[in-house]
A = this chain, B = another copy of it.
Amino acid sequence: MKAFRIAAAAAALATTALSPAAFADTLVKNVNGMRVDQDGKLHRFAAMLIDDEGRVAELYERKDKLPKKVDYEVDGDGRVLTPSFIDAHLHLSMLGFAAMTLDLSDTSSLEEAKAKIAEYAARYPNKAWIIGTGWNQEKWGLGRFPTAAELDAIVPDRPVWLTRADVHAGWANSAAIREAGVTAKTKDPEGGRIVRDAKGAPAGTFIDEAMSPFSAALPEPRPEERDLAFDKAQRILLEHGITAAADMGTTMEDWQAMRRAGDLGRLQIRVMSYAWGIDNMVAIAGPGPTPWLYQDRLRMGGVKLFLDGALGSRGAWLLADYSDAPGERGLPQINGTQLRNMMSRASMSDFQVAVHAIGDAANREVLDSIAEMNDTYDGDRRWRIEHAQIIDPEDLPRFAKLGAIASMQPTHETSDWRMAEARLGPDRLGGAYAWRSMLENSVPLAFGSDAPVEPVDVMSGIAAAVTRQDSAGEPFGGWLPDEAISREQSLGAFTAGAAYAGMAEGRFGSLAVGEWADFVFLSDDPMMVPAPEIRDIRVLETWMGGHKVYDNEG
Protein backbone atom coordinates (compact mmCIF):
# COMPACT_ATOMS: atom_id res chain seq x y z
CA MET A 1 0.00 0.00 0.00
CA LYS A 2 1.16 3.42 -0.87
CA ALA A 3 1.71 4.67 2.65
CA PHE A 4 4.16 1.92 3.41
CA ARG A 5 6.02 1.88 0.13
CA ILE A 6 9.58 3.08 0.59
CA ALA A 7 10.33 5.12 -2.48
CA ALA A 8 13.89 4.63 -3.57
CA ALA A 9 13.50 8.29 -4.39
CA ALA A 10 13.30 9.14 -0.70
CA ALA A 11 16.83 10.33 -1.21
CA ALA A 12 20.04 10.49 0.70
CA LEU A 13 18.71 11.59 4.07
CA ALA A 14 21.98 11.53 5.88
CA THR A 15 23.91 13.70 3.49
CA THR A 16 22.01 16.91 3.96
CA ALA A 17 21.65 16.35 7.67
CA LEU A 18 25.30 15.66 8.36
CA SER A 19 26.39 18.84 6.63
CA PRO A 20 23.92 21.57 7.58
CA ALA A 21 25.32 23.83 4.89
CA ALA A 22 25.98 27.38 5.95
CA PHE A 23 23.59 28.70 3.35
CA ALA A 24 22.42 32.24 3.03
CA ASP A 25 19.12 33.91 2.17
CA THR A 26 16.96 31.98 -0.26
CA LEU A 27 14.00 33.35 -2.18
CA VAL A 28 11.34 30.87 -3.21
CA LYS A 29 9.35 32.73 -5.83
CA ASN A 30 6.57 32.23 -8.33
CA VAL A 31 4.54 29.90 -6.15
CA ASN A 32 0.85 29.41 -5.52
CA GLY A 33 1.40 29.59 -1.79
CA MET A 34 -1.15 29.06 0.93
CA ARG A 35 -0.99 28.68 4.68
CA VAL A 36 -3.43 28.49 7.56
CA ASP A 37 -2.61 30.63 10.57
CA GLN A 38 -3.20 29.84 14.23
CA ASP A 39 -6.65 31.41 13.98
CA GLY A 40 -7.61 29.02 11.20
CA LYS A 41 -7.50 31.68 8.51
CA LEU A 42 -6.17 30.83 5.05
CA HIS A 43 -3.56 33.18 3.59
CA ARG A 44 -2.24 33.20 0.06
CA PHE A 45 1.26 34.24 -0.96
CA ALA A 46 3.41 34.26 -4.07
CA ALA A 47 6.93 34.14 -2.69
CA MET A 48 8.81 33.36 0.51
CA LEU A 49 12.18 34.56 1.75
CA ILE A 50 14.11 32.07 3.89
CA ASP A 51 16.87 33.33 6.17
CA ASP A 52 20.32 31.85 6.56
CA GLU A 53 19.17 29.61 9.41
CA GLY A 54 16.33 28.10 7.42
CA ARG A 55 13.48 30.15 8.87
CA VAL A 56 10.78 32.12 7.13
CA ALA A 57 12.00 35.72 6.85
CA GLU A 58 9.18 37.18 4.78
CA LEU A 59 6.13 36.26 2.74
CA TYR A 60 5.14 38.21 -0.35
CA GLU A 61 1.83 38.60 -2.10
CA ARG A 62 1.68 38.80 -5.84
CA LYS A 63 1.60 42.59 -5.81
CA ASP A 64 4.60 42.91 -3.46
CA LYS A 65 8.01 43.89 -4.67
CA LEU A 66 10.47 41.03 -4.25
CA PRO A 67 13.93 41.54 -2.75
CA LYS A 68 16.65 41.70 -5.36
CA LYS A 69 19.74 40.87 -3.40
CA VAL A 70 19.38 37.26 -2.32
CA ASP A 71 21.96 34.51 -2.35
CA TYR A 72 19.79 31.85 -3.92
CA GLU A 73 16.54 31.77 -5.84
CA VAL A 74 14.19 28.82 -6.24
CA ASP A 75 11.62 29.19 -9.01
CA GLY A 76 8.41 27.46 -8.00
CA ASP A 77 7.14 27.44 -11.59
CA GLY A 78 3.74 28.42 -10.31
CA ARG A 79 3.35 25.23 -8.29
CA VAL A 80 1.27 24.93 -5.14
CA LEU A 81 3.24 25.47 -1.93
CA THR A 82 1.78 24.76 1.52
CA PRO A 83 3.31 24.21 4.92
CA SER A 84 4.56 20.66 5.12
CA PHE A 85 2.17 18.52 7.12
CA ILE A 86 2.11 17.57 10.76
CA ASP A 87 0.71 14.26 11.85
CA ALA A 88 -0.76 14.87 15.29
CA HIS A 89 -1.03 11.21 16.22
CA LEU A 90 1.04 8.31 15.00
CA HIS A 91 3.42 5.65 16.22
CA LEU A 92 6.84 6.12 14.69
CA SER A 93 8.54 2.90 15.62
CA MET A 94 5.47 0.84 14.81
CA LEU A 95 5.21 2.61 11.48
CA GLY A 96 8.82 1.73 10.74
CA PHE A 97 8.52 -1.84 11.95
CA ALA A 98 5.29 -2.28 10.00
CA ALA A 99 7.22 -1.30 6.90
CA MET A 100 9.78 -3.97 7.79
CA THR A 101 7.28 -6.73 8.53
CA LEU A 102 4.32 -8.34 6.81
CA ASP A 103 1.76 -5.71 5.91
CA LEU A 104 -1.81 -6.96 5.54
CA SER A 105 -3.46 -3.57 5.43
CA ASP A 106 -4.22 -3.84 1.72
CA THR A 107 -5.97 -7.22 1.97
CA SER A 108 -9.68 -7.19 1.41
CA SER A 109 -10.51 -10.79 2.33
CA LEU A 110 -9.25 -13.56 4.55
CA GLU A 111 -8.26 -15.56 1.47
CA GLU A 112 -6.18 -12.68 0.16
CA ALA A 113 -4.48 -12.34 3.55
CA LYS A 114 -3.74 -16.08 3.68
CA ALA A 115 -2.13 -15.95 0.26
CA LYS A 116 0.00 -13.02 1.29
CA ILE A 117 1.08 -14.71 4.52
CA ALA A 118 2.03 -17.89 2.65
CA GLU A 119 4.05 -15.92 0.11
CA TYR A 120 5.84 -13.99 2.88
CA ALA A 121 6.66 -17.15 4.83
CA ALA A 122 8.12 -18.72 1.69
CA ARG A 123 10.17 -15.62 0.94
CA TYR A 124 11.68 -15.46 4.46
CA PRO A 125 12.37 -19.06 5.45
CA ASN A 126 14.92 -17.96 8.08
CA LYS A 127 12.74 -15.59 10.06
CA ALA A 128 12.16 -17.26 13.41
CA TRP A 129 8.79 -15.54 13.77
CA ILE A 130 6.43 -14.29 11.10
CA ILE A 131 5.36 -10.91 12.37
CA GLY A 132 2.91 -8.61 10.71
CA THR A 133 0.10 -6.16 11.11
CA GLY A 134 -2.75 -4.48 9.29
CA TRP A 135 -5.55 -7.06 9.12
CA ASN A 136 -9.15 -6.07 9.71
CA GLN A 137 -11.84 -8.73 9.80
CA GLU A 138 -14.47 -6.02 9.32
CA LYS A 139 -12.89 -4.89 6.08
CA TRP A 140 -12.72 -8.54 5.05
CA GLY A 141 -16.46 -8.89 5.68
CA LEU A 142 -15.64 -11.93 7.80
CA GLY A 143 -18.15 -11.31 10.56
CA ARG A 144 -15.89 -13.04 13.10
CA PHE A 145 -12.26 -13.06 14.18
CA PRO A 146 -9.82 -15.22 12.21
CA THR A 147 -8.52 -18.42 13.86
CA ALA A 148 -5.28 -20.13 14.69
CA ALA A 149 -6.30 -23.11 12.57
CA GLU A 150 -6.49 -20.85 9.55
CA LEU A 151 -2.91 -19.81 10.12
CA ASP A 152 -1.71 -23.32 11.00
CA ALA A 153 -2.82 -24.46 7.56
CA ILE A 154 -0.34 -22.03 6.00
CA VAL A 155 2.48 -21.87 8.55
CA PRO A 156 2.51 -24.89 10.85
CA ASP A 157 6.20 -24.83 11.82
CA ARG A 158 6.99 -21.33 13.07
CA PRO A 159 5.14 -18.88 15.30
CA VAL A 160 2.99 -16.32 13.48
CA TRP A 161 1.79 -13.16 15.23
CA LEU A 162 -0.26 -10.61 13.31
CA THR A 163 -1.74 -7.56 14.95
CA ARG A 164 -5.00 -6.06 13.82
CA ALA A 165 -4.95 -2.73 11.97
CA ASP A 166 -5.92 -0.91 15.17
CA VAL A 167 -3.26 -2.81 17.16
CA HIS A 168 -5.92 -3.68 19.72
CA ALA A 169 -6.04 -7.36 18.79
CA GLY A 170 -3.61 -10.03 17.65
CA TRP A 171 -3.99 -13.18 15.56
CA ALA A 172 -1.70 -16.09 16.39
CA ASN A 173 -1.10 -19.58 15.05
CA SER A 174 -0.74 -22.56 17.38
CA ALA A 175 3.05 -22.33 17.48
CA ALA A 176 2.83 -18.72 18.67
CA ILE A 177 0.20 -19.62 21.27
CA ARG A 178 2.56 -22.30 22.57
CA GLU A 179 5.48 -19.85 22.68
CA ALA A 180 3.32 -17.35 24.56
CA GLY A 181 2.35 -20.07 27.03
CA VAL A 182 -1.38 -19.46 26.66
CA THR A 183 -3.68 -22.45 27.17
CA ALA A 184 -7.33 -23.20 27.77
CA LYS A 185 -6.58 -22.73 31.47
CA THR A 186 -5.31 -19.17 31.01
CA LYS A 187 -7.84 -16.73 32.38
CA ASP A 188 -8.77 -13.52 30.59
CA PRO A 189 -6.56 -10.77 32.00
CA GLU A 190 -8.03 -7.53 33.29
CA GLY A 191 -8.55 -5.24 30.32
CA GLY A 192 -8.25 -8.08 27.83
CA ARG A 193 -10.02 -11.06 26.34
CA ILE A 194 -8.98 -14.38 24.83
CA VAL A 195 -11.34 -15.34 22.02
CA ARG A 196 -12.12 -19.02 22.69
CA ASP A 197 -13.51 -21.98 20.79
CA ALA A 198 -16.46 -24.06 21.93
CA LYS A 199 -14.21 -26.00 24.33
CA GLY A 200 -12.77 -22.84 25.87
CA ALA A 201 -9.39 -23.17 24.20
CA PRO A 202 -7.80 -20.06 22.65
CA ALA A 203 -9.29 -19.75 19.17
CA GLY A 204 -6.48 -17.60 17.78
CA THR A 205 -7.39 -13.98 18.45
CA PHE A 206 -6.38 -12.05 21.55
CA ILE A 207 -7.86 -8.70 22.53
CA ASP A 208 -6.01 -5.81 24.20
CA GLU A 209 -4.29 -6.98 27.42
CA ALA A 210 -4.56 -10.60 26.29
CA MET A 211 -1.90 -9.70 23.70
CA SER A 212 0.74 -9.19 26.40
CA PRO A 213 2.07 -12.78 26.53
CA PHE A 214 2.76 -12.52 22.81
CA SER A 215 4.56 -9.20 23.08
CA ALA A 216 6.67 -10.78 25.81
CA ALA A 217 7.43 -13.87 23.73
CA LEU A 218 8.41 -11.97 20.59
CA PRO A 219 12.12 -11.68 19.94
CA GLU A 220 13.26 -8.24 21.11
CA PRO A 221 14.35 -6.08 18.15
CA ARG A 222 18.03 -5.28 18.15
CA PRO A 223 18.96 -1.58 18.33
CA GLU A 224 20.16 -1.78 14.72
CA GLU A 225 16.65 -2.83 13.75
CA ARG A 226 15.16 -0.03 15.82
CA ASP A 227 17.38 2.48 14.08
CA LEU A 228 16.41 1.07 10.70
CA ALA A 229 12.73 1.18 11.61
CA PHE A 230 13.01 4.79 12.69
CA ASP A 231 14.79 5.69 9.48
CA LYS A 232 12.11 3.93 7.43
CA ALA A 233 9.39 5.80 9.31
CA GLN A 234 11.13 9.09 8.58
CA ARG A 235 11.39 8.31 4.88
CA ILE A 236 7.74 7.35 4.66
CA LEU A 237 6.74 10.61 6.29
CA LEU A 238 8.96 12.85 4.16
CA GLU A 239 7.69 11.11 1.04
CA HIS A 240 4.20 12.13 2.12
CA GLY A 241 5.16 15.70 2.83
CA ILE A 242 5.08 15.23 6.59
CA THR A 243 7.96 16.87 8.44
CA ALA A 244 6.60 16.73 11.97
CA ALA A 245 4.72 14.17 13.98
CA ALA A 246 3.48 13.54 17.48
CA ASP A 247 4.81 10.15 18.54
CA MET A 248 1.97 8.88 20.68
CA GLY A 249 3.69 6.57 23.09
CA THR A 250 7.47 6.83 23.12
CA THR A 251 9.20 4.03 24.98
CA MET A 252 12.73 4.26 26.35
CA GLU A 253 13.90 2.17 23.37
CA ASP A 254 12.13 4.49 20.93
CA TRP A 255 13.67 7.51 22.63
CA GLN A 256 17.18 6.11 22.46
CA ALA A 257 16.74 5.40 18.76
CA MET A 258 15.60 8.98 18.18
CA ARG A 259 18.53 10.33 20.20
CA ARG A 260 20.93 8.21 18.19
CA ALA A 261 19.43 9.64 15.01
CA GLY A 262 19.77 13.15 16.42
CA ASP A 263 23.31 12.59 17.68
CA LEU A 264 24.41 11.27 14.30
CA GLY A 265 22.67 14.00 12.30
CA ARG A 266 20.12 11.57 10.88
CA LEU A 267 17.03 13.06 12.51
CA GLN A 268 15.09 14.42 9.54
CA ILE A 269 11.67 15.07 11.01
CA ARG A 270 10.41 17.00 14.01
CA VAL A 271 9.14 14.72 16.73
CA MET A 272 6.74 15.86 19.42
CA SER A 273 7.20 12.93 21.75
CA TYR A 274 4.61 11.75 24.26
CA ALA A 275 6.00 9.14 26.62
CA TRP A 276 4.42 5.71 26.75
CA GLY A 277 3.03 6.07 30.27
CA ILE A 278 4.28 7.73 33.39
CA ASP A 279 7.25 5.41 33.91
CA ASN A 280 8.78 6.25 30.56
CA MET A 281 8.02 9.93 31.06
CA VAL A 282 9.89 10.00 34.34
CA ALA A 283 12.75 7.78 33.20
CA ILE A 284 13.36 9.78 30.03
CA ALA A 285 12.54 13.40 30.68
CA GLY A 286 12.78 13.41 34.45
CA PRO A 287 11.81 16.61 36.20
CA GLY A 288 9.92 18.11 33.27
CA PRO A 289 9.60 18.33 29.49
CA THR A 290 12.90 18.25 27.66
CA PRO A 291 13.96 21.35 25.78
CA TRP A 292 13.54 21.31 22.02
CA LEU A 293 16.62 19.41 20.85
CA TYR A 294 18.51 19.31 17.56
CA GLN A 295 17.13 22.59 16.25
CA ASP A 296 13.50 21.88 17.05
CA ARG A 297 13.58 18.29 15.89
CA LEU A 298 12.86 16.47 19.13
CA ARG A 299 11.11 17.22 22.37
CA MET A 300 9.41 15.08 24.96
CA GLY A 301 6.67 17.37 26.11
CA GLY A 302 4.07 15.05 27.48
CA VAL A 303 2.71 11.64 28.25
CA LYS A 304 0.29 9.33 26.46
CA LEU A 305 -2.22 7.53 28.65
CA PHE A 306 -4.70 4.87 27.61
CA LEU A 307 -8.16 4.89 29.07
CA ASP A 308 -9.95 2.44 26.79
CA GLY A 309 -9.46 0.24 23.72
CA ALA A 310 -10.83 0.47 20.18
CA LEU A 311 -14.28 0.23 18.72
CA GLY A 312 -13.42 -2.55 16.24
CA SER A 313 -12.36 -5.00 18.94
CA ARG A 314 -15.16 -3.75 21.24
CA GLY A 315 -12.57 -2.41 23.65
CA ALA A 316 -13.93 1.14 23.47
CA TRP A 317 -15.68 2.00 26.71
CA LEU A 318 -19.33 2.94 26.08
CA LEU A 319 -22.03 4.49 28.23
CA ALA A 320 -24.47 1.81 27.07
CA ASP A 321 -24.16 -1.71 25.67
CA TYR A 322 -22.70 -2.40 22.27
CA SER A 323 -25.60 -2.68 19.80
CA ASP A 324 -24.06 -5.81 18.35
CA ALA A 325 -23.00 -7.34 21.67
CA PRO A 326 -25.62 -6.89 24.38
CA GLY A 327 -24.13 -6.92 27.86
CA GLU A 328 -20.78 -5.61 26.67
CA ARG A 329 -19.68 -2.02 27.24
CA GLY A 330 -15.99 -2.32 26.44
CA LEU A 331 -12.94 -2.44 28.61
CA PRO A 332 -11.62 0.58 30.48
CA GLN A 333 -7.93 -0.24 30.91
CA ILE A 334 -7.54 1.82 34.05
CA ASN A 335 -10.08 3.21 36.48
CA GLY A 336 -10.88 6.85 37.02
CA THR A 337 -8.73 7.15 40.11
CA GLN A 338 -5.74 5.71 38.30
CA LEU A 339 -6.33 8.09 35.42
CA ARG A 340 -6.48 11.07 37.76
CA ASN A 341 -3.36 9.99 39.59
CA MET A 342 -1.45 9.67 36.33
CA MET A 343 -2.72 12.98 34.98
CA SER A 344 -1.80 14.61 38.24
CA ARG A 345 1.69 13.10 38.31
CA ALA A 346 2.34 14.40 34.80
CA SER A 347 0.81 17.80 35.41
CA MET A 348 2.73 18.49 38.59
CA SER A 349 5.90 18.31 36.50
CA ASP A 350 4.35 20.37 33.70
CA PHE A 351 4.07 17.51 31.24
CA GLN A 352 1.23 17.73 28.75
CA VAL A 353 -1.32 14.93 29.01
CA ALA A 354 -2.75 13.09 25.99
CA VAL A 355 -5.39 10.49 26.84
CA HIS A 356 -6.59 7.84 24.43
CA ALA A 357 -10.38 7.87 24.67
CA ILE A 358 -12.62 6.36 22.01
CA GLY A 359 -15.94 5.42 23.57
CA ASP A 360 -18.41 7.95 24.94
CA ALA A 361 -17.90 6.68 28.49
CA ALA A 362 -14.16 7.05 28.15
CA ASN A 363 -14.44 10.56 26.75
CA ARG A 364 -16.75 11.60 29.55
CA GLU A 365 -14.36 10.16 32.12
CA VAL A 366 -11.45 12.12 30.66
CA LEU A 367 -13.49 15.31 30.60
CA ASP A 368 -14.49 14.75 34.23
CA SER A 369 -10.84 14.19 35.10
CA ILE A 370 -9.74 17.33 33.26
CA ALA A 371 -12.33 19.31 35.18
CA GLU A 372 -10.78 18.12 38.41
CA MET A 373 -7.23 18.76 37.19
CA ASN A 374 -8.17 22.31 36.25
CA ASP A 375 -8.92 22.97 39.92
CA THR A 376 -5.29 22.32 40.76
CA TYR A 377 -3.17 22.91 37.70
CA ASP A 378 -3.53 26.26 36.05
CA GLY A 379 -1.66 27.69 33.11
CA ASP A 380 -1.54 26.52 29.53
CA ARG A 381 -2.17 22.78 29.92
CA ARG A 382 -3.59 21.89 26.49
CA TRP A 383 -5.21 18.64 27.62
CA ARG A 384 -5.39 16.36 24.60
CA ILE A 385 -8.01 13.73 24.01
CA GLU A 386 -6.72 11.29 21.44
CA HIS A 387 -9.28 9.95 18.94
CA ALA A 388 -12.32 11.45 20.73
CA GLN A 389 -14.36 9.27 18.41
CA ILE A 390 -17.67 8.75 20.14
CA ILE A 391 -18.88 11.68 22.19
CA ASP A 392 -22.18 11.94 23.93
CA PRO A 393 -23.61 15.15 22.39
CA GLU A 394 -24.07 16.54 25.88
CA ASP A 395 -20.32 16.41 26.35
CA LEU A 396 -19.39 18.27 23.15
CA PRO A 397 -19.54 21.76 24.69
CA ARG A 398 -17.35 20.66 27.59
CA PHE A 399 -14.21 20.29 25.48
CA ALA A 400 -13.69 23.98 24.85
CA LYS A 401 -14.91 24.94 28.31
CA LEU A 402 -12.30 22.70 29.91
CA GLY A 403 -9.54 23.60 27.48
CA ALA A 404 -9.35 20.20 25.80
CA ILE A 405 -7.94 19.64 22.32
CA ALA A 406 -9.57 17.06 20.05
CA SER A 407 -6.82 15.05 18.36
CA MET A 408 -8.65 13.13 15.65
CA GLN A 409 -7.88 10.99 12.60
CA PRO A 410 -10.19 11.57 9.64
CA THR A 411 -9.31 8.36 7.82
CA HIS A 412 -10.58 6.37 10.80
CA GLU A 413 -14.04 7.59 9.90
CA THR A 414 -13.87 6.27 6.35
CA SER A 415 -12.48 2.94 7.56
CA ASP A 416 -14.84 2.62 10.49
CA TRP A 417 -18.25 3.92 9.53
CA ARG A 418 -19.90 0.59 8.77
CA MET A 419 -18.42 -0.97 11.89
CA ALA A 420 -19.32 2.07 13.99
CA GLU A 421 -22.95 1.82 12.90
CA ALA A 422 -23.01 -1.85 13.81
CA ARG A 423 -21.37 -1.27 17.20
CA LEU A 424 -23.45 1.76 18.17
CA GLY A 425 -26.71 1.43 16.27
CA PRO A 426 -28.35 4.40 14.57
CA ASP A 427 -29.25 6.41 17.67
CA ARG A 428 -25.83 7.00 19.17
CA LEU A 429 -24.06 8.66 16.26
CA GLY A 430 -24.80 12.27 17.18
CA GLY A 431 -21.23 12.81 18.39
CA ALA A 432 -19.43 10.25 16.22
CA TYR A 433 -16.25 11.44 14.46
CA ALA A 434 -17.78 14.85 14.96
CA TRP A 435 -15.21 17.20 13.44
CA ARG A 436 -17.57 19.96 12.54
CA SER A 437 -19.30 19.87 15.90
CA MET A 438 -15.90 20.19 17.52
CA LEU A 439 -15.06 23.28 15.48
CA GLU A 440 -18.50 24.77 16.04
CA ASN A 441 -17.94 24.27 19.73
CA SER A 442 -14.61 26.15 19.40
CA VAL A 443 -12.56 23.06 20.17
CA PRO A 444 -9.00 23.18 18.83
CA LEU A 445 -8.74 20.38 16.29
CA ALA A 446 -5.56 18.49 15.41
CA PHE A 447 -5.52 15.86 12.69
CA GLY A 448 -3.33 12.80 12.37
CA SER A 449 -3.31 9.35 10.83
CA ASP A 450 -2.72 6.99 13.76
CA ALA A 451 -0.21 5.32 11.45
CA PRO A 452 0.47 2.46 11.09
CA VAL A 453 -3.20 1.85 11.92
CA GLU A 454 -4.05 3.98 8.88
CA PRO A 455 -1.75 5.10 6.06
CA VAL A 456 0.01 8.40 6.69
CA ASP A 457 -1.31 9.93 3.46
CA VAL A 458 -2.51 13.43 4.36
CA MET A 459 -4.44 14.01 1.14
CA SER A 460 -6.61 11.00 1.95
CA GLY A 461 -7.14 12.52 5.36
CA ILE A 462 -8.20 15.87 3.94
CA ALA A 463 -10.45 14.16 1.39
CA ALA A 464 -12.11 12.15 4.17
CA ALA A 465 -12.59 15.25 6.28
CA VAL A 466 -14.15 17.18 3.43
CA THR A 467 -16.31 14.41 1.94
CA ARG A 468 -16.94 11.85 4.70
CA GLN A 469 -16.50 9.33 1.86
CA ASP A 470 -13.86 6.67 1.36
CA SER A 471 -11.70 6.31 -1.74
CA ALA A 472 -14.47 4.36 -3.47
CA GLY A 473 -16.88 7.24 -2.89
CA GLU A 474 -18.74 5.31 -0.21
CA PRO A 475 -21.20 6.07 1.23
CA PHE A 476 -22.91 8.15 -1.38
CA GLY A 477 -23.25 11.72 -0.14
CA GLY A 478 -20.94 11.03 2.78
CA TRP A 479 -21.55 9.44 6.18
CA LEU A 480 -23.22 11.86 8.58
CA PRO A 481 -22.30 14.58 6.11
CA ASP A 482 -23.13 17.39 8.54
CA GLU A 483 -19.84 16.60 10.24
CA ALA A 484 -17.77 17.32 7.13
CA ILE A 485 -15.51 20.34 7.40
CA SER A 486 -13.97 22.72 4.90
CA ARG A 487 -10.71 22.29 3.02
CA GLU A 488 -9.12 25.20 4.88
CA GLN A 489 -10.17 23.71 8.20
CA SER A 490 -8.76 20.33 7.20
CA LEU A 491 -5.45 21.77 6.05
CA GLY A 492 -5.34 23.81 9.23
CA ALA A 493 -5.87 20.73 11.41
CA PHE A 494 -2.99 18.98 9.62
CA THR A 495 -0.66 21.99 10.01
CA ALA A 496 -1.24 24.86 12.45
CA GLY A 497 -3.73 22.88 14.54
CA ALA A 498 -1.40 19.94 14.95
CA ALA A 499 1.43 22.32 15.85
CA TYR A 500 -0.70 23.98 18.52
CA ALA A 501 -1.67 20.60 19.96
CA GLY A 502 2.04 19.80 20.22
CA MET A 503 3.07 23.14 21.76
CA ALA A 504 5.02 23.89 18.61
CA GLU A 505 3.30 26.98 17.26
CA GLY A 506 5.87 29.66 16.50
CA ARG A 507 8.37 26.96 15.59
CA PHE A 508 6.68 25.25 12.67
CA GLY A 509 3.31 24.48 11.12
CA SER A 510 2.04 27.72 9.65
CA LEU A 511 4.97 29.26 7.74
CA ALA A 512 4.62 32.34 9.89
CA VAL A 513 7.61 34.67 9.83
CA GLY A 514 10.18 33.26 12.25
CA GLU A 515 9.02 29.66 11.94
CA TRP A 516 11.12 27.04 10.21
CA ALA A 517 10.69 26.99 6.45
CA ASP A 518 9.07 23.55 6.36
CA PHE A 519 6.97 23.25 3.23
CA VAL A 520 5.86 21.09 0.33
CA PHE A 521 5.24 21.54 -3.35
CA LEU A 522 2.05 19.77 -4.39
CA SER A 523 0.89 18.55 -7.77
CA ASP A 524 -2.43 20.39 -7.50
CA ASP A 525 -4.36 22.88 -5.41
CA PRO A 526 -6.25 21.18 -2.56
CA MET A 527 -8.52 24.23 -2.27
CA MET A 528 -9.54 24.10 -5.93
CA VAL A 529 -9.65 20.58 -7.40
CA PRO A 530 -12.97 18.71 -7.31
CA ALA A 531 -13.27 17.01 -3.92
CA PRO A 532 -12.86 13.43 -5.16
CA GLU A 533 -9.56 14.45 -6.77
CA ILE A 534 -7.98 15.70 -3.54
CA ARG A 535 -6.80 12.13 -2.95
CA ASP A 536 -4.84 12.23 -6.19
CA ILE A 537 -2.74 15.23 -5.24
CA ARG A 538 0.87 14.17 -4.99
CA VAL A 539 3.71 15.58 -2.92
CA LEU A 540 6.36 16.74 -5.40
CA GLU A 541 8.98 17.99 -2.96
CA THR A 542 9.36 18.23 0.80
CA TRP A 543 11.49 20.95 2.37
CA MET A 544 12.49 21.27 5.98
CA GLY A 545 14.32 24.17 7.56
CA GLY A 546 14.97 25.54 4.10
CA HIS A 547 16.49 22.27 2.81
CA LYS A 548 14.95 19.97 0.24
CA VAL A 549 14.65 16.61 1.98
CA TYR A 550 12.48 14.75 -0.54
CA ASP A 551 11.96 15.06 -4.26
CA ASN A 552 9.57 12.69 -6.01
CA GLU A 553 11.75 12.86 -9.09
CA GLY A 554 14.65 11.46 -7.10
Residues of chain B with a CB closer than 8 A to A287's CB:
223-224, 227, 260
Q: Could you tell me which residues of chain A, from 100 to 127, have a CB within 8 Å of some CB in chain B? A: none
Q: Does A286 contact B (CB under 8 A)?
A: yes
Q: Does A264 contact B (CB under 8 A)?
A: yes
B223 touches A256 (CB 8 A): no
Residues of chain B with a CB closer than 8 A to A263's CB:
290-291, 293
Minimal beta-carbon separation of A58 from chain B (angstroms): 27
Chain A window 132-156, contacts with chain B (Cβ cutoff 8 Å), 1 for yes, 0 for no: 0000000000000000000000000
B264 touches A227 (CB 8 A): no
Minimal beta-carbon separation of A35 from chain B (angstroms): 31
Chain A window 238-272, contacts with chain B (Cβ cutoff 8 Å), 1 for yes, 0 for no: 00000000000000110011011001100000000
Bound state CA distance, A286 and B264, in angstroms? 12
Most chain-B CB neighbours within 10 Å: which of A224, A252, A287?
A287
A223 touches B282 (CB 8 A): yes
Q: Does A284 contact B (CB under 8 A)?
A: yes
B286 touches A256 (CB 8 A): yes
Q: Does A487 contact B (CB under 8 A)?
A: no
Bound state CA distance, A259 and B259, in angstroms? 10
A286 touches B252 (CB 8 A): no
Chain A window 281-302, contacts with chain B (Cβ cutoff 8 Å), 1 for yes, 0 for no: 0111111001101000000000
Q: Does A226 contact B (CB under 8 A)?
A: yes
B227 touches A256 (CB 8 A): no
Residues of chain B with a CB closer than 8 A to A290's CB:
260, 263
Residues of chain B with a CB closer than 8 A to A264's CB:
291
Residues of chain B with a CB closer than 8 A to A260's CB:
285-287, 290
Number of interface residues of A (CB under 8 A): 22
Q: Closest B-chain residue to A260, C-beta based?
A: B286
Residues of chain B with a CB closer than 8 A to A257's CB:
286
Residues of chain B with a CB closer than 8 A to A253's CB:
283
Chain A window 184-207, contacts with chain B (Cβ cutoff 8 Å), 1 for yes, 0 for no: 000000000000000000000000
Which of B224, B283, B285 is the one whose CB lies under 8 Å from A252? B283
Q: Closest B-chain residue to A262, C-beta based?
A: B293
Which of B286, B291, B293 is the one whose CB lies under 8 Å from A227? B286
Bound state CA distance, A368 and B23, in angstroms? 55
Q: Closest B-chain residue to A290, C-beta based?
A: B263
Residues of chain B with a CB closer than 8 A to A226's CB:
286
Minimal beta-carbon separation of A278 from chain B (angstroms): 12
Bound state CA distance, A291 and B261, in angstroms? 11
A223 touches B286 (CB 8 A): yes
Most chain-B CB neighbours within 10 Å: which of A222, A253, A263, A293?
A263
Bound state CA distance, A222 and B252, in angstroms? 17
Which of B224, B256, B291, B293 is the one whose CB lies under 8 Å from A283? B256
Q: Closest B-chain residue to A255, C-beta based?
A: B256
Minimal beta-carbon separation of A253 from chain B (angstroms): 7
Chain A window 28-64, contacts with chain B (Cβ cutoff 8 Å), 1 for yes, 0 for no: 0000000000000000000000000000000000000
Residues of chain B with a CB closer than 8 A to A222's CB:
282
Which of B224, B284, B291 is the one whose CB lies under 8 Å from A256? B284
Residues of chain B with a CB closer than 8 A to A285's CB:
223, 260
Minimal beta-carbon separation of A226 from chain B (angstroms): 7
Chain A window 206-236, contacts with chain B (Cβ cutoff 8 Å), 1 for yes, 0 for no: 0000000000000000111011000000000
Residues of chain B with a CB closer than 8 A to A223's CB:
282-283, 285-287
Bound state CA distance, A471 and B264, in angstroms? 47
Bound state CA distance, A123 and B224, in angstroms? 50
Bound state CA distance, A42 and B337, in angstroms? 67
Bound state CA distance, A257 and B287, in angstroms? 10
Residues of chain B with a CB closer than 8 A to A256's CB:
283-284, 286
Minimal beta-carbon separation of A470 from chain B (angstroms): 40
Bound state CA distance, A263 and B253, in angstroms? 19
Minimal beta-carbon separation of A219 from chain B (angstroms): 14
Residues of chain B with a CB closer than 8 A to A286's CB:
223-224, 226-227, 256-257, 260
A-B contact pairs, 16 of them (CB 8 A): A222-B282, A223-B283, A223-B285, A223-B286, A223-B287, A227-B287, A252-B283, A256-B283, A256-B286, A259-B259, A260-B285, A260-B286, A260-B287, A263-B290, A263-B291, A264-B291
Knowing that A223-B283, A227-B286, A263-B293 touch, tell me 13 more A-B residue pairs with CB under 8 angstroms: A222-B282, A223-B285, A226-B286, A253-B283, A256-B284, A256-B286, A257-B286, A260-B285, A260-B287, A260-B290, A263-B290, A263-B291, A264-B291
Q: Across the A-B interface, give the 10 residue pairs with the lowest CB-CB distance, nearest first.
A: A223-B286, A224-B287, A223-B287, A260-B286, A263-B291, A223-B282, A263-B290, A263-B293, A256-B284, A227-B286
